Amino acid sequence: MSPQVSMSAKSNLQILSGVRLMLLLGFFGLLGLLGFAALFSIHSLRVVVNLNERSTRDYIARSEELEDIRGNAYTMSSRVRDFLLDREPASSERHRDDALAAWERTTAALAKYRQQCPDPQLPAFRQLYSSLVSYWAEVEPALKWDEEARSKRGYAFLSDQLTPRRDEFFRLLDELRRSNEVELRSASDESARLIQELQQRMSSVLIAAFIIGLALAAITGVQFFRMERSVRLRYQASLENRAQLEALSARLLDIQEDERRRISRELHDEAGQALSGLLVDVANASAAIGEDHAAVRERLESVKRAAESTLASIRNLSLLLRPSMLDDLGLIPALRWQARETARRTGMNVAVDADDAELELPDEYRTTIYRVVQEALNNAARHSGAENVSVTVRAEPARLLVRIRDDGKGFNPHTTRGMGLLGMHERIVHLKGRFLIRSEQGGGAELVFELPPVASGQAQGGDVA
Amino acid sequence: MKTIRIILADDHTVIRSGLKLLLERQPDLQVVGEAANGRQAVDSAAALEPQVAVLDIAMPQMNGIEATRQIVARNPAVSVVILSMHSDEGYVMRALQAGAKAYLLKDSAEADLIRAVRAVSEGKSFFSPAVSRMLLEDYMRQMQQKGASDSYELLTSREREVLQLIAEGKSNKEIATLLNLSLHTVETHRTRVLQKLNLHSVPELILYAVRKGIIS
């Protein structure tokens, strides 16, 4: 039984360490996965936000530049028209200067836009640029026209040459604006794509985490049930071992008691009787030789004394092993004898309070009660310093109650656990009885035990009774 | 001189033959039967009608105490002397309850047996000095420890006389004759003695008397 248990315990230990490693890895993996997912999503969101911010900022900046170009180009073309059509001589100078200034601002705005123009817009930008430059190339010589030339050719020049070109670059500007809008929309499409990608990754991470978590829970659960079962098995095994030990110790007590009884009887009946016979023979021999042989009589007298003292020792030894009263007279006379012996030996006053009416008890009960009382009296004599000890035996319908009480210095029953108390407890528990010690320092001690009532037919009285 | 007829029961042949030798040294004592166990003792007591039966306690088949009970029940005229290895009060009490008149320790049998046989044949009790001493010692210790005054002091001199005569084994009628009292008066004295001494039976009374040294 026990080697099996220890083997399975060892293999459990190995399984435990393997599984523990696996669980450890699993838990750290899960944590790592979730941490990575969190960092990754933070990063991705930041990328998306940056992208949005940048594309919006660029769009706004470019739109402003375009408006700048458009505004200046419009001013420029208006001033050129005014210059060509205005008949007020004083004003023409101012219109020309304004047109020049507006052109300069336009080229500056163009240069600025060029710097932040994205690659896809470059062809459209170049078209715009060349359209504006070619417009200006037409305008520049006309700005030197005098009033006459202007009034003569001005209108035709404006409507034939300049207005189509002007419409052209305004169309190109509109195109650029649209393309800017397209640019913005594609940036927002890009961020939408990034977010979708993030969603996909996150959901696969979550699925993986869920699977790992499920596996961890399953392993933990299986492990838990396995451990619970092994604990239960071990507990059962320990209960069985305990029961076996108890049975063994009860058996040992039985054997010891039988052996004591046998040796006690043997000593008493064989050795004792032989010595008694010897004493009678010596007395007869002594009488037979008459008064004449004084020396022989003296020898016989010494033989008699030796035989008497040996007989006394044998009787004491026999009673010490197992008092014959227990078998011959029953429990109560044996307890009374024990009380008298203890009183004789120790000077304590030992009173036995019991009903002398025959208490019919099986041998097991008699022996148990006798031995426990003997042990209690010995303890009281050895340790308590008591003056009075009382032993009470009550046979009630529902129980057999025995109480040993002394007025000694007492002890703490929770800390005192001698072999004596343990042995008493074991004997009583073996008969399915209950055992109780009440004592406190300085307050005497009381040892109470009760045994279940003896089933009728089970009892055997003493031999002599 | 009148011979005293004796039967002897002990399962040990050596002891039996030794005791027989011891008894038959006396001209007035005659061992008429021997038994090796209690049953044989009961049978030979019935068949031989001796005045005295000397019985060992520890015998196979039927022990000496049960044999005493049966012998006395059949023929109260037989006086039983118990031989025992035990000086304990429990055994003495049990022997007296069974109807024995004398209780001897085997160690001192060779010294006391003849006196015991003579005593019981005259209707008296007899106890080995060692037994009396032990009973007395226990009694004294109990008295001392309890601090109780001796209830013997409570008895009137007439009651003490009645106590001694009961302990010696006299019947109420014999006591009435001896003390020149009516039977009824003797019975009253007897009840009062038992009450005053807190005793419940004649064997207890005999033990008490032995303890007090009223009888030997």
Quick check: A449 and A400 in contact, CB under 8 A?
A: no
* B2-27 confidence digits (pLDDT tens): 889 999 999 888 889 999 999 998 99
Residue B69 has pLDDT above 90, yes or no: yes
Best of A261, A275, A350, A464 to disrupt the B interface by mutation (most B CBs within 10 Å)?
Answer: A464
Claim to verify: residue A197 and residue A62 sit in the same structural domain:
yes
Instruction: Say whether pLDDT at A427 is over 50.
Output: yes
> What residues make up the domain containing B12?
4-130
Name chain B contacts of A326, Cβ cutoff 8 Å: none
**Chain A positions in Cβ-Cβ contact with residue B129 (cut-off 8 Å):** none
Interface contact flag, B22 A343, Cβ < 8 Å: no
B110, A336: Cβ pair inside 8 Å? no
How close is the nearest chain A Cα to the Cα of B195, in Å? 18
Please report the pLDDT score of residue A3 as a whole number: 42
* Residue A37, pLDDT score: 85
Q: Using the beta-carbon criterion (under 8 Å), do A337 and B89 form an inter-chain contact?
A: yes
Q: Mean pLDDT, to the nearest integer, of B39-67?
A: 92
pLDDT(B64) > 80: yes
Cα separation values, A462 from A186, A366, B36, B63, Å: 114, 10, 22, 12
* Within-domain flag for B173: yes
Max mean pLDDT among A404-408, B38-42, B133-137 falls in B38-42
User: Tens digits of per-residue pLDDT, B145-190?
Assistant: 665 556 777 788 888 888 888 888 888 888 899 888 898 889 888 8
- The burial of A362, by beta-carbon neighbours within 10 Å (0-12 exposed, 13-18 middle, 19 or more buried), is given as middle
Compute the C-alpha angle A441/A445/A449, nearest 5°: 140
- For residues B122 and B208, membership in a common domain is answered with no
Q: Which residues touch A264 (CB under 8 Å, ≥6 apart)?
A: A318, A319, A321, A322, A324
Same domain, B119 and B166: no
Band of residue A16 on the pLDDT scale cut at 50, 70, 90: low
Residue B81: per-residue pLDDT: 95
In a domain, B138, yes or no: no
List the CATH number of the domain containing A350: 3.30.565.10
Q: Is the domain of B90 the same as that of B155?
A: no
Instruction: Establish if B199 touches chain A: CB-CB under 8 angstroms.
Output: no
pLDDT at B31: 94
- The residue ranking higher by pLDDT, B81 or A87, is B81
Give the residue from A224, A257, A273 where a domain finishes.
A224
State which residue of chain A sits closest to B113, comparing Cα positions. Answer: A280
pLDDT bracket for residue A391 (50, 70, 90): very high
The mean predicted confidence, pLDDT, of chain A is: 84
Q: What is the pLDDT of residues A20-33, one digit of tens each?
A: 788 888 888 888 88
- In A, which residues are within 8 Å of B141 by CB distance? 343-344
Tell me which of B130, B164, B194 is where a domain ends: B130
CB B104 within 8 A of CB B116: yes
Shortest alpha-carbon distance between residue B182 and chain A (Å):
34
Does residue A422 have a pLDDT over 90? no
> Is the pLDDT reported for residue A413 higher than 50?
yes
Split at pLDDT 50, 70, 90, the class of B194 is confident
CATH of the domain at A150: 1.20.120.1730
> Do B118 and B78 fall into the same domain?
yes
Q: In this predicted structure, what is the pLDDT of residue A463?
A: 43
In a domain, A16, yes or no: yes
Highest mean pLDDT, choosing among A8-17, A354-363, B111-120, B157-166:
B111-120
Tell me the pLDDT band of B100, cut-offs 50, 70 and 90.
very high
Give Cα B10 distance to the centre of its chain. Answer: 18
CB contact under 8 A, A325 and B58: no
Q: What's the whole-number mean pLDDT along residues B124-145?
A: 80
- Within its chain, how far is the Cα of A154 from the centroid? 99
Residues of A with CB under 8 A from a CB of B: 268-269, 272-274, 276-284, 287, 308, 311-312, 315, 324-325, 328-329, 333-334, 336-337, 340, 343-344, 349, 463-465
CB contact under 8 A, A337 and B90: yes
Cβ pair A336:B89 closer than 8 A: yes
Question: Does position A12 have pLDDT exceeding 70, yes or no?
Answer: no
Asked if the interface predicted TM-score (ipTM) of this complex is over 0.95, the answer is no
Which residues of chain A neighbour B94 with C-beta distances below 8 Å? 329, 333, 464-465
Give the H/E segment covering residue B141.
Answer: helix B129-146
Q: Contact B86/A325, CB-based, under 8 Å?
A: yes
Task: Establish if A354 belongs to a structural domain.
Answer: yes
pLDDT digits (tens, 9 = 90+) for A203-231: 988 898 899 889 889 988 988 899 999 99
Asked, for residue A318, whether it belongs to a domain, the answer is: no
Write down the pLDDT at residue A395. Answer: 85
For the segment A321-343, the average pLDDT, to the nearest whole number, is 88
Q: How many domains does chain A have?
A: 2
* Shared-domain flag, residues B74 and B20: yes
**pLDDT (0 to 100) of residue B72:** 93
Q: Say what the pLDDT of residue A2 is.
A: 41
Do the domain assignments include residue B142?
no
The pLDDT value recorded for residue A141 is: 86
Map tokens 């640029």 to a residue: A129
Characterise B88 by phi-psi region: left (phi > 0), alpha (psi -120 to 50), beta (else): beta
**What's the CA gap between B45 and B32, in Å, rounded?**
10
Residues of A in contact with B25 (CB under 8 A): 284, 287
Same domain, B102 and B168: no
Residue B212 token pair? 């007090």
By the CB < 8 Å criterion, does B106 face chain A? yes
Q: Report strand pairing: A434-439 vs B126-127.
A: unpaired
Residue A270's pLDDT band (boundaries 50, 70, 90)? confident
CA angle, A382 then A385 then A387, to 5°? 115
- E strand map for A342-433: 349-354, 388-395, 400-406
End-to-end Cα separation, chain B, in angstroms: 26
Q: Which helix (H) or strand (E) holds A381?
A: none
- pLDDT value at A153 more than 70: yes
Task: Report the distance separating Cα B111 and Cα A283, nearest Å.
Answer: 8
A315 contacts B85? CB cut-off 8 A: yes
| CA A408 vs CA A325, A336, A387, A389, A436: distances in Å | 29, 21, 7, 9, 18
- With contact defined as beta carbons under 8 Å apart, do B53 and B81 qualify? yes
The closest of A137, A138, A127, A133 to A172, measured between CA atoms, is: A127
Q: Give B93's contacts in chain A (Cβ within 8 Å).
A: 333
- C-alpha distances (whole Å) from B148 to each of A132, A143, B136, B143, B144 are 148, 159, 15, 6, 7
- Look up residue A263 and give its two tokens: 């040796």
> Is the domain of B10 the same as that of B106?
yes
* Residue labelled with tokens 């003390």: B179
Tell me whether residue A233 is in a domain.
no
Query: What integer pLDDT is reported at residue B195 of this predicted model?
Result: 82
Q: Last residue of some domain: B68, B100, B130?
A: B130
Averaged pLDDT, A358-387? 86
Can you give the CATH number for the domain in which B169 is found? 1.10.10.10
Tell whether B24 and B96 lie within a shared domain. Answer: yes
Q: Is A365 exposed, middle or buried (0-12, 13-18, 19+ CB in 10 A)?
A: buried
How far is A358 from chain B, CA to nearest CA, in Å? 12
A280 closest CB neighbour out of B18, B58, B85? B18
Q: Which of helix, strand or coil describes residue A40?
A: helix
Which among B23, B215, B178, B92 has a CA at the least distance from the CA of A325?
Answer: B92
Per-residue pLDDT tens over the stretch A87-127: 777 788 888 888 889 899 999 988 888 888 888 888 888 88
Q: Domains in chain B: how many in total?
A: 2
pLDDT at A179: 87
The H or E element that residue A438 is part of is: strand A434-439
Q: Which of A192, A209, A224 is the last residue of a domain?
A: A224
- Tell me the pLDDT band of A389, cut-offs 50, 70 and 90: very high
Side chain identity at A330, as an amino acid letter? G
**pLDDT tens digit string along A52-82?**
898 888 889 888 888 888 898 889 888 888 8
Task: With a cut of 80, say whether residue A456 has pLDDT above it.
Answer: no
Helix, coil or strand: residue A167:
helix
Query: For residues A190 and A275, what is the distance between their CA atoms, to the nearest angstrom?
Result: 123
Residue B94 lies inside a defined structural domain of this protein: yes
Neighbours of B5 (CB within 10 A): 18
CA-based nearest residue in chain B for residue A342: B138
Q: Is residue A279, in this structure, part of any structural domain at all?
A: no
Residues of B in contact with A328 (CB under 8 A): 57, 63, 91
Measure the N-to-C terminal CA separation of chain A; round to a whole number of Å: 47
Residues present in chain A in total: 465
Q: Give the span between the Cα atoms of B175 and A97, in whole angstroms.
A: 178
Domain coverage including residue A389: 324-465
Across the interface, whether the CB atoms of A280 and B109 are under 8 A apart is answered yes
Give the total residue count for chain B: 216
How much of chain A, in percent, has pLDDT values that exceed 90?
11
Domain endpoint, select from B65, B95, B130:
B130
Q: Is B138 on the interface with A (CB under 8 A)?
A: yes
* Cα separation, A106 vs A252, whole angstroms: 121
Count residue pairs from A and B with Cβ separation < 8 A: 94
| Residue A306, in any domain of the structure | no
Contact at CB, A333 and B90, closer than 8 angstroms: yes
Write down which residue in A224, A248, A271 finishes a domain: A224
In a domain, B197, yes or no: yes
Residues of B in contact with A278 (CB under 8 A): 14
Let me know whether A48 and A177 are in one domain: yes
CB–CB contact B85 A276 (8 Å): yes
Residue identified by tokens 């336009």 is A106
Instruction: Examine the pLDDT at A461 and tell me if it is beyond 50.
Output: no
Contact A409, A415 (CB under 8 A): no
